[in-house]
């Protein structure tokens, strides 16, 4: 017999779970959110927020080091107090997690610290942090258990010299040499941070390109930037293992096109991706299907093959993005409460906080052509932007992909300053089925980085004013 009954039980308090629970509370549903580790999940505690705090600090540090180039004299080369930086970062996390806790309570959502196991289509067993055991029942159960860092057997984490992203955002000493295994989003974001802080950066990527799946022109800009700053990049390469030298250094062996090389480093960051947390939750026993990669398939309403059980966020499949999880959480809350809702978006924008940043929404040129669509492409380089010159960040561009016949917006790809902020206009345009004319005719304030969006659209149409048309 169940100890308590609810309208909905949400398992996981990350960026998918807590918004789902909050929205359910707003919709007057009796809801409980169960979190076994840290409220806020990966995103708030050691993912999105902490990494962006360090990225901002690294960007400022780099700017300060070049202040004399624009006539600001006397600053010299700044120094880093890593423990104090971690204290500052921790304060941001604490404030945000406290805010989430307050919002759950204010919206009538109960929070339990404990480990949840699904025991049936409508029941969940919880072992609380205090060690007590409870059985809860609900009309609906939402799985929002997220994902975890993948560990390589030959590079077992030790928390100090062989680390994952969680440890990488918590370093109290800046490594002199950092080797990153994996040239994806996490590896390059954190690699850029420590490169700016003075670490010699080496990146080992198994694929032929960095940032697989990202617009190749955008990736090339980032690769040139980090290489110019001294990074060594090995593509089509695999990290085989390592030996620890007498002086504490790590001698990492890599295979590059069949040849073995040894790279000496101080810290290895393993950033080869994330794995869905679908095991050990009781899903199999409840009859929920899990695919070969460990993801939980869902329909357009977020339902699994068991109608009373839903899945959202990373555990339900790519893209593994916090904002995708949040939107799914809100939608599934509406569905559970009996409202008309479904996952019917046109695009999920993505942002990569390298230096320079990359952001994208919609299709690449290649994806459009695969669908048989003839395209036109416009491009506005930041090197021609007065605002970009003023802030001394002229690497990159805005690329606009449109249907050659109808001029409908198909995709926008940005690499350069504030790309993560600029992409929202593109996402709105795609959701509203905008045409290139809509974007180019919209008056963008001057002088701003956002002007590049309008110029890029005009360039696709062949009548840009600020740059030469094709």
Would 4-148+275-336 and 350-461 be classified into the same CATH topology?
A: no
Instruction: Tell me whether strands 232-234 and 200-204 are parallel, antiparallel or unpaired.
Output: parallel
Q: What is the pTM of this model?
A: 0.95
All residues at 6 or more sequence positions from 62 whose CB lies less than 8 Å from its CB, including other chains: 196, 355
Residues written for the chain:
470
Domain ranges across the chain: 4-148+275-336, 162-272, 350-461
Quick check: helix, strand or coil at residue 467?
A: coil
Task: Judge whether 459 counts as a catalytic residue.
Answer: no
State the maximum Cα–Cα separation within the chain, in Å, rounded to a whole number: 74
Question: In whole angstroms, what is the distance from residue 402 CA to residue 413 CA?
Answer: 12
All residues at 6 or more sequence positions from 54 whose CB lies less than 8 Å from its CB, including other chains: 85, 89, 169, 190, 193
Instruction: Tell me whether strands 110-120 and 162-163 are parallel, antiparallel or unpaired.
Output: unpaired
Q: Is the four-CA dihedral 178, 179, 182, 183 of positive or negative sign? A: positive
- For domain 350-461, the CATH class is alpha beta
Quick check: helix, strand or coil at residue 269?
A: strand
Q: Which of 66, 196, 446, 459 is catalytic?
A: 446
CATH-assigned architecture of domain 162-272 = 3-Layer(bba) Sandwich (3.50)
- For domain 4-148+275-336, the CATH class is alpha beta
pLDDT tens, per residue, the chain with 470 residues:
568 999 999 999 999 999 999 999 999 999 999 999 999 999 999 999 999 999 999 999 999 999 999 999 887 789 999 999 999 999 999 999 999 999 999 999 999 999 999 999 999 999 998 999 999 999 999 999 999 999 999 999 999 999 999 999 999 999 999 999 999 999 999 999 999 999 999 999 999 999 999 999 999 999 999 999 999 999 999 999 999 999 989 999 999 989 999 999 999 999 999 999 999 999 999 999 999 999 999 999 999 999 999 999 999 999 999 999 999 999 999 999 999 999 999 999 999 999 999 999 999 999 999 999 999 999 999 999 999 999 999 999 999 999 999 999 999 999 999 999 999 999 999 999 999 999 999 999 999 999 999 999 999 999 999 999 98
């Amino acid at each position: 017999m169940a100890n308590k009954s609810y309208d909905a039980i949400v398992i996981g308090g990350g960026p998918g779970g807590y918004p789902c629970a909050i929205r359910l509370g707003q919709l007057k549903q009796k809801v409980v959110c169960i979190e076994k580790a840290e409220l806020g999940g990966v995103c708030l505690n050691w993912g999105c927020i902490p990494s962006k705090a360090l990225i901002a600090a690294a960007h400022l540090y780099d700017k300060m080091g070049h202040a004399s180039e624009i006539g600001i004299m006397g600053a010299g080369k700044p120094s880093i107090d890593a423990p104090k930086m971690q204290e500052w970062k921790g304060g941001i996390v604490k404030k945000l997690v406290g805010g989430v806790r307050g919002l759950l309570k204010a919206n009538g959502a109960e929070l339990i610290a404990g480990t949840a196991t699904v025991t049936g289509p409508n029941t969940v067993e919880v072992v609380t942090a205090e060690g007590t055991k409870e059985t809860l029942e609900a009309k609906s159960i939402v799985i929002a258990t997220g994902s975890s860092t993948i560990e390589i057997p030959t590079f077992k984490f030790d928390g100090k010299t062989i680390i994952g992203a969680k440890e990488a955002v918590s370093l109290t000493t800046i490594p002199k040499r950092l080797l990153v295994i994996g040239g994806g989003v996490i590896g390059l974001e954190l690699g850029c941070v420590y490169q700016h802080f003075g670490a010699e950066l080496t990146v080992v990527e198994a694929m032929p390109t960095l940032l697989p799946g990202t617009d190749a022109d955008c990736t090339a800009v980032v690769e040139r930037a980090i290489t110019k700053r001294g990074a060594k990049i090995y593509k089509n390469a695999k990290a085989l293992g390592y030996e620890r030298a007498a002086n504490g250094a790590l001698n990492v062996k890599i295979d590059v096109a069949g040849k073995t090389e040894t790279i000496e480093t101080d810290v290895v960051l393993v950033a080869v991706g994330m794995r869905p947390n679908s095991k050990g939750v009781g899903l199999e026993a409840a009859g929920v299907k899990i695919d070969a990669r460990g993801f939980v398939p869902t329909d357009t309403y977020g339902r699994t093959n068991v109608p009373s059980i839903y899945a959202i966020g990373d555990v339900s499949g790519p893209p593994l993005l916090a904002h995708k999880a949040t939107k799914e959480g809100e939608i599934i809350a509406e569905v559970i409460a009996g409202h008309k809702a479904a996952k019917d978006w046109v695009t999920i924008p993505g942002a990569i906080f390298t230096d320079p940043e990359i952001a994208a929404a919609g299709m690449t040129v290649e994806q459009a052509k695969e669908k048989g669509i003839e395209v036109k492409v416009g491009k506005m380089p930041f090197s021609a932007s007065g605002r970009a010159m003023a802030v001394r960040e002229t690497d990159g561009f805005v690329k606009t992909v449109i249907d050659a016949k109808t001029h409908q917006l198909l995709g926008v790809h940005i690499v350069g300053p504030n790309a993560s902020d600029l992409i929202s206009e593109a996402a709105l345009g795609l959701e509203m089925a905008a045409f290139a004319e809509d974007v180019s005719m919209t008056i963008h304030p001057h002088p701003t980085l956002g002007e590049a969006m309008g110029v890029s659209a005009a360039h696709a149409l062949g009548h840009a004013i600020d740059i030469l048309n094709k």
